[in-house]
Amino acid sequence: MPDKILKINDLAVEYKNKGKYLRVLEDINLELENGEILALVGESGSGKSTLGKTILRLLPDSARIAEGSIFFKGEDICNFSEKKFNDQIRGQEMAMVIQNPQNALNPVFKVGTQILDVLYFKSKKQKSRKELKKEAVKILKKVGISDPEYRFDEYPHQFSGGMKQRVMLAMAFISNPSLLIADEPTTALDLTVEAQILNLLSNLVDEYKISILYISHDLGVVAGLSDRIAVMYAGKIVEVAQTRELFDHTNHPYTEALLNCLPDYQKTKKLQTIPGQVPDPGNYPAGCNFHPRCSHSFDRCRQEEPRLEEIASNHYSACFLNGL
């Protein structure tokens, strides 16, 4: 099996808006090793979710892959038919957890029934739901739901946000996927529950040895979880490095600005923001997309687009400051 579970080459994605395609992702090159947790970080609107949805083919009809390829376990999955992708990849080899589990769980069915459904399809309809109930209860227990036999017969609205996210993780792991795309799974939770879910995720990763693309707007959250971090801005990856390296030797001014925005719990400095906003697709500036918000920008940044370049071992950054 190839070392890289996922290899994205020169990917560009567009959404149709008022009859015109606008580019939302451009020049995306990313690789994910087996068993690696790669965090995708950036402000709202930078294109993180679009990338996750592109990999899992969950884009709306108004979107298209304009360029590039996505190799999963050595095969270009962009060439798979919808049926092949559905039968072999989505929900089997790749699973997803999203920010709001409320939207993923069906409110009219008991939580246990929804887990049973997943187990039933995993058994290729060979086992009866009665047989599978023991397994479902075991799974609920494994993800930290106390009193699982009783909880099995409850409805999603009777579960807290953290419990619902535990259930979503349980359902995602049932098919033993090789890749999990986690799109801000803890954003709607309070800090202590968030920490519990991150711990649960780490434990599941250790046990199942899967790869994770973890989408977050918060560098603080991914610091203790990810092996590597890719920072996105306005549809492009601007910096990629091992987590420790990214924090210790931050290169791109955008990454630096994101780090400066992390809350200071000692309260020794004021809460920082990045002036301005992520530009909308179709309104990207000439040159470097970040230059209007960058305090280090100079003439070249306004004229040319910087490309990702290796600035240290396995550390890539797209900034003209590196050439000075």
Ligand X SMILES: Nc1ncnc2c1ncn2[C@@H]1O[C@H](COP(=O)(O)OP(=O)(O)OP(=O)(O)O)[C@@H](O)[C@H]1O
Query: 217 or 252: whose CB is closer to ligand X?
Result: 217
Query: 51 or 311: whose CB is closer to ligand X?
Result: 51
Q: Degrees (nearest 5) of the Cα angle 183, 210, 67?
A: 55
Piece of 43-51, 85-93, 135-143, 245-253 that binds ligand X (CB under 6 A): 43-51
Q: Degrees (nearest 5) of the Cα angle 75, 232, 305?
A: 100
Piece of 39-47, 167-175, 201-209, 220-228 that binds ligand X (CB under 6 A): 39-47
Binding of residue 49 to ligand X (CB under 6 A): yes
Piece of 41-49, 68-76, 237-245, 287-295 that binds ligand X (CB under 6 A): 41-49
Minimal distance, residue 111 CB to ligand X, in Å: 26
Query: 47 or 306: whose CB is closer to ligand X?
Result: 47
Minimal distance, residue 279 CB to ligand X, in Å: 8
In this structure, the strands spanning 228-233 and 37-41 are parallel
Binding of residue 48 to ligand X (CB under 6 A): yes
Query: 23 or 73: whose CB is closer to ligand X?
Result: 23
Binding of residue 44 to ligand X (CB under 6 A): yes
Query: Which of 4, 8, 39, 46 lies at the binding interface for ligand X (CB under 6 A)?
Result: 46
8 A C-beta contact, residue 281 and residue 66? no
Piece of 40-48, 66-74, 141-149, 169-177 that binds ligand X (CB under 6 A): 40-48
Q: What mask, x for binding ligand X by CB under 6 A, covers residues 113 to 152?
A: ----------------------------------------
Residue with tokens 């992702």: 25
Minimal distance, residue 1 CB to ligand X, in Å: 30
8 A C-beta contact, residue 228 and residue 195? no
Cβ-Cβ contacts under 8 Å for 275 (sequence gap 6 or more): 293
How many positions of this chain bind ligand X (CB under 6 A)?
Answer: 16
Residue with tokens 């807290």: 160
Binding of residue 50 to ligand X (CB under 6 A): yes
The residues in 261-320 that bind ligand X, with binding defined as CB under 6 A, are 280-281
Minimal distance, residue 260 CB to ligand X, in Å: 19
Minimal distance, residue 14 CB to ligand X, in Å: 9
For 71, counting Cβ atoms within 10 Å of its Cβ (0-12 exposed, 13-18 middle, 19+ buried), the class is middle
Query: 151 or 217: whose CB is closer to ligand X?
Result: 217
Residues 46 and 293: their CA atoms lie apart, in Å, by 14
Residues 159 and 192: their CA atoms lie apart, in Å, by 17
Q: What mask, x for binding ligand X by CB under 6 A, covers residues 208 to 247?
A: ---------x------------------------------
Kindly list the residues in this chain that would bind ligand X in the complex (CB under 6 A): 15, 17, 24, 42, 44-50, 60, 62, 217, 280-281
